[in-house]
Structure 1
């Protein structure tokens, strides 16, 4: 799920008619985890507990500071065969500091390890321990070892690739919101080729990159860390396999934070979730344009959202004819503003780049939206893992006419991301590996310790109804909502109310007695040419 809301009632109603039933699962695809895989997880966890993790210097991780250590943990490629082929997952750790930031003389007792996953599928958490030096995280870092890791397929953890990275970042490129039939045929051919590439490069291993295996890997990591019960924080996609973990291993859970929750309803995984995401991004795109319009004195792009849209479309048309720097076409422009839909910290930079381009200076737009060849291998690896996990996880429509019908209708009311999301996921229509039936995420009363769910009300990457659904399915969970905001991933950000709930839960086990809400975070301040900072290219955001 183009994983980081509220959308119009019309859009919501339309989606209920658009989401055609996905194709039936391939023959032999299991509907539930089989006993052999559950036994295999227990075998692998016992082995990992005995072996532990030999942490040392992070020699293979560039720019990792000395206070962070790295190691590996072995997990079975196939949990039905726990003594068969093993793969190694890379793990990072910053030990608990024991330092109370509000009282330097007080030594804080260690509570265990806090394992974090940033989402994806395909994102690495190896650099998560670095947050321990930030003010918003120091209290948590005092009590917990901060643990990051690269899930299977990601980075150096049995890396997956489906295409030559040199051929992956194609730029400049078009991004028609109402594609022609010839353009659709071109993209279908690309999707088929990508799916074939995944099968050719991964071989028989391809079927084992799944959310269920990510959940099983998490239990092996827990055991390798010497933790009898898991303390975990997952963001975006990390909430989904975290919820699978809670369903499979409820007695192994100590505390869990679900930040920006994916809708875990099996009927939504993953085709329908992507339709809902495309609809939600239309509302988020309007939020961005309204903010830019409020600062027309800085950017000069129009004083209404509609006028800002006209400025954006003017830039798209120019880039279609003459790409900026030979690198930035309409697709790169759209990608830059899509990342702003995930994180509102990007709004000032993106608005400045658009304004400068229309005034004759393309450099800021090239810096922010242009491809970075040095990141091609990482971007292709991320995309390969994303594709493999989502395609393996669930049935998808295999008839192009279903995709075409649903997204043609949706694009009439939500043109900003709809077709881009189609091309991202279309290899799943032609996927060569067996499909699974999604696990029914659900826990009964008293089966799972209380858990914390965080959600921004206008998050488009994981629309708000996903948090409501997860809350209904995890007995004893409590939902905290950041009202009126749409940033994707809200823990450890600038909202002290949200952070207070996270700290109270992780440090003391305290939760509100019922649903709680926080006022929205402050909107970003506009930046002009004098103070705008360079930001990375609009790489594929976490999903």
Structure 2
């Protein structure tokens, strides 16, 4: 699924790792399963040594950092090891209130949660931070955790570039060549290690992290892609789970991973793109982009056509424009700034658009790294169509009804058609009745990045799970956001273990208020950034 990255322990207790108890035959006691036990026992015996965070992490002194060693290949647990970076703030509540560690993953694949402990200082997280050590980490391949790279970051960030909604045969041929070169670059840079970047290994790493934190059972919150490998974890290690939150759910059906999920995502973004344009039209007195969603689309297309001929600032072409406005499909926090930039551009002021859409040299390395991990995990996780005619047929048909994101999403994933590493059979996510404690699923009804049916599919596969729905809303990732009702369910679950019987609904959070062009949209307090 196309990723949009927005942002950038315990004592000396020695535990014997619990033996994995697979549900549904997903991961029988193979060499890899035994390897997890070996690695977890080793991690429990040598807890993480937390200390001052390296300057590269850019974290405040209140956050402490360390590393945990995990096997590159769980079939060889005493072989090559890789270090995963970990961050933590300790629970600030009274000793009797403390409930262990809460580990968070923001998705991607390819995103880091090293920043997560910083939410301890935010009002919406105060009570949770009183009860839990807040733990973030960079998964394998990400940032300083044995980083993966497939391409020179300068080439990855090259701009301006095109984004034709109806690509010509010549353009398709060009993108095929780029996809092949990218896949070859991944293999060349990673070598034999490339095949080990998978969701199942991310789940295994999570169990080793659990042991290294001194936790007999895991309390985990995953957002976006984090819900998928969190669900894989629940399948492999149901007896290791204390509490688990799935925020904005990837459809875990093996038939959806990952090719079909990406097609569904592109279709859903078309509806969310219209939601944004409808809101802009409602505030035409501020933005002057059109009185209807169709008129706003005409304004957008006018800008796109001009950028095709004359890139803004020399770096913002159609592809950069589309990527910037895709963020408005993920988060309505971006609606005011994006509408303002479009409005200003049509008045002759290109500066806001350049500020929002131009690639930033300082983030090129991190962006390329995130994309490399994203590609490796999704390509390794499942079989993808190997013949471009299949991609061409499916995306050409979809683009007729969902032109906004379809082809850009296809190009991002196309290296999987030429992937040099073995492609696995997806894990059949599920748990037996009574095997898991109650788990909490959070979902916005109009989320495009992870369409709502995925939440219902996960609930079907994990008996005892509860779905909290933010009705008629589409922001991707709703934990700690603007909806007090959602946050209330989250807090009650994490602090008290309480859930509704099966499902509950919350009214949508308020739509953004249009602001003057001189104002700036502030980050919403308390929100946990994520990606996917």
CA deviation string 1:184-222 (max 9, x = no partner): 000000000000000000000000000000000000000
* Aligned-residue offset at 1:240: 0.2
**Residue matched to 1:321:** 309
Residue in 2 that maps onto 1:307: 295
Deviations 1:70-127 (A, max 9, x none): 000000000000000000000000000117xxxxxxx761100000000000000000
Within 5 Å, which residues of 2 pair with 1:153-164? Answer: 153-164=141-152
From 484, 488, 509, give the equivalent of 2:476. Answer: 488
Alpha-carbon deviation of 1:534?
8.7
Report the Cα distance in structure 2 between the residues aligned to 1:56 and 1:376, rounded to whole angstroms.
28
Shift, 1:527, TM fit = 1.7
The equivalent residue for 2:9 is none
1:509 corresponds to: 497
Following TM superposition, by how much is the alpha carbon of 1:522 offset from its aligned partner in structure 2, in angstroms? 0.6
What do you get for the CA RMSD once the two structures are aligned? 1.4
- Determine whether 1:83 maps to 2:92: no
Question: Contact between 1:161 and 1:198, CA under 8 Å: does it hold in 2?
Answer: yes
Alignment partner, residue 422 of structure 2? 434
Aligned to 1:351: 339
The answer for the alignment partner of 1:218 in structure 2 is 206
Say yes or no: does 1:338 pair with 2:326: yes
**Matched residue, 1:542:** 531
Pair 62,430 (structure 1): closer, same or farther in 2 beyond 3 Å: same
Question: Equivalents in 2 of 1:529, 1:41: separation in Å?
Answer: 54
Residues 258 and 454, structure 1, Cα contact 8 Å, conserved in 2: yes
Q: Which of residues 59, 71, 92 is equivalent to 1:97? A: 92
Match of 1:22 in 2: none
Of 404, 407, 421, which aligns to 2:392? 404
Is 2:52–2:61's contact at 8 Å kept on the other side of the alignment? yes
Q: Which residue of 2 is the match for residue 476 of structure 1?
A: 464
Per-residue Cα deviation, 1:147-176 (whole angstroms, up to 9, x for no partner): 000000000000000011111112111100
Change (3 A) 1:488 1:533: closer
Maintained 8 Å contact 1:231/1:255? yes
Match in the other structure for 1:59: 54
User: Residues of 2 paired with 1:108 and 1:409: CA distance?
Assistant: 59
CA contact (8 A) 1:31 1:438 kept: no
- Aligned equivalents of 2:502, 2:184: Cα separation in 1: 49
Q: Of 465, 476, 488, which residue of structure 1 is paired with 2:453?
A: 465
Residue 44 of structure 1 pairs with residue 34 of structure 2: no
CA–CA separation in structure 1 for the residues paired with 2:208 and 2:97? 25
**Runs of 5+ unmatched residues, structure 1:** 5-29, 100-106
1:33 and 1:262, CA in 2 relative to 1: closer, same or farther beyond 3 A?
Answer: farther
Match among 266, 283, 287 for residue 295 of structure 1: 283
CA contact 1:222–1:229 (8 Å) conserved in 2: yes
- Secondary structure (helix, strand or coil) at the match of 1:484 reads coil
Query: Against the structure 1 CA distance between its residues 3 and 258, is the aligned structure 2 distance closer, same or farther, given a 3 Å change threshold?
Result: farther
SS of equivalent residue, structure 1 residue 88: strand
Distance 1:108 1:311 in 2: 58
The 1:46–1:387 alpha-carbon spacing in structure 2 relative to 1, beyond 3 Å, is: same
CA distance in 1 between counterparts of 2:194 and 2:29 reads: 19
1:16-46 alpha-carbon deviations (Å, 9 max, x no partner):
xxxxxxxxxxxxxx98566110000000000
**Are 2:187 and 1:199 aligned?**
yes
* Alignment counterpart, residue 68 of structure 1, candidates 41, 57, 63: 63
TM-score normalised by length of structure 2: 0.94
Report how many aligned residue pairs link the two structures: 507
Provide the rounded CA distance (Å) in 1 between the counterparts of 2:57 and 2:437: 38
Decide whether the 8 Å contact of 2:227 with 2:250 is kept in 1: yes
Quote the Cα distance in structure 2 between the aligned partners of 1:3 and 1:282.
16
From 252, 258, 271, the counterpart of 1:264? 252
| Cα deviation code 1:466-494 (max 9, x no counterpart) | 00100100010000000000000000001
Relative distance call for 1:32 and 1:394 in structure 2 (3 A) is farther
Tell me the residue number matched to 1:24.
none
Residue aligning to 2:487:
499
Task: Give unpaired runs (5+ residues) of structure 2.
Answer: 5-24, 524-528
SS in 2 for 1:260: strand
Structure 1 stretches of 4+ moved >6 Å:
none
**How does 1:419-430 map onto structure 2 within 5 Å?**
419-430=407-418
Correspondent of 2:215 among 211, 227, 231: 227
Cα distance in structure 2, aligned partners of 1:57 and 1:126: 13
Distance change (3 Å), C-alpha of 1:534 and 1:371 = farther
Q: Deviations over 1:486-521 (max 9, x none)?
A: 000000001110000001100000000121000001
Q: 2: CA distance between counterparts of 1:73 and 1:79?
A: 15
The 3-state SS of whatever aligns with 2:67 is strand
Shift of 1:531: 1.3
Q: Which residue in 1 is equivalent to 2:269?
A: 281
SS in structure 1 opposite 2:249?
coil
5 Å-filtered alignment, 1:387-398, equals: 387-398=375-386
> Within 2, Cα distance between the matches of 1:448 and 1:479?
15
Q: 2-side partners of 1:439 and 1:533: how far apart? A: 41
Contact preservation (8 Å) 1:342, 1:541: no
Normalized against structure 1, the TM-score is what? 0.92
Alpha-carbon distance between aligned partners in 1 of 2:216 and 2:367, rounded to the nearest angstrom: 35
Q: Which has the higher contact order (CA 8 A, sep 6+)?
A: 1
Match in the other structure for 1:2: 2
CA contact (8 A) 2:224 2:530 kept: no
